Amino acid sequence: MKVKVINRSSNPLPEYATEFSAGLDVRAANEEPIVLEPLGRAMVPTGLYLEIPAGYEVQVRPRSGLAAKKGITVLNAPGTIDADYRGEVCVILVNLSNVPFTVEKGERVAQLVLAKHEVIEWDVTDSLADSARGAGGFGSTGVK
């Protein structure tokens, strides 16, 4: 699937790390280092502008290596870039560790995943079909 992109950064376009990767690694396009203090967050620019086809979104997801090794993740994971958004793609990073983390220019900060989605058409009713779970909420399925 082709997605139009403008790259106003000096970084290469996002790339798949391996042949079967679902997400494209996206890089930071900040001019100066961004220091994330413990529990701090920041909008990290990418320099990318997308034209996503109708019926699709681009999801912004954490990189597992940054999360596992450094405690850095995407705050609103997965973030959604809607098909009609034309502004710069930014990544909201948060530092969940107890030490500062510096985001350097060109660092891989997140993954982008193209995802098809459906549009809901509501069917207003006064009742719903019964199910085995019923109204059981959090923890009701026995998972501990």
Per-residue confidence (pLDDT) for residue 88, from 0 to 100: 98
- pLDDT exceeds cutoff 70 at 144: no
The domain defined by 4-116 carries CATH number 2.70.40.10: yes
Per-residue confidence (pLDDT) for residue 50, from 0 to 100: 98
Confidence band, pLDDT 50/70/90 cuts, at residue 20: very high
Distance between CA 40 and CA 36 in Å, rounded? 5
Q: Among 66, 24, 64, which Cα is nearest to 46's?
A: 24
- pLDDT exceeds cutoff 90 at 135: no
Handedness of CA 127, 129, 132, 133 (dihedral sign): negative
Q: Among 109, 102, 100, which Cα is nearest to 37's?
A: 100
Per-residue confidence (pLDDT) for residue 143, from 0 to 100: 62
> Cβ distance 81 to 89 under 8 Å?
yes
- pLDDT > 90: percent of the chain: 91
How distant is the alpha carbon of residue 107 from its chain centre?
16
Residue in this structure with the two tokens 């560790």, named with its chain if needed: 97
Per-residue confidence (pLDDT) for residue 134, from 0 to 100: 85
Summarised one tens digit per residue, pLDDT across range 54-64 is 999 999 999 99
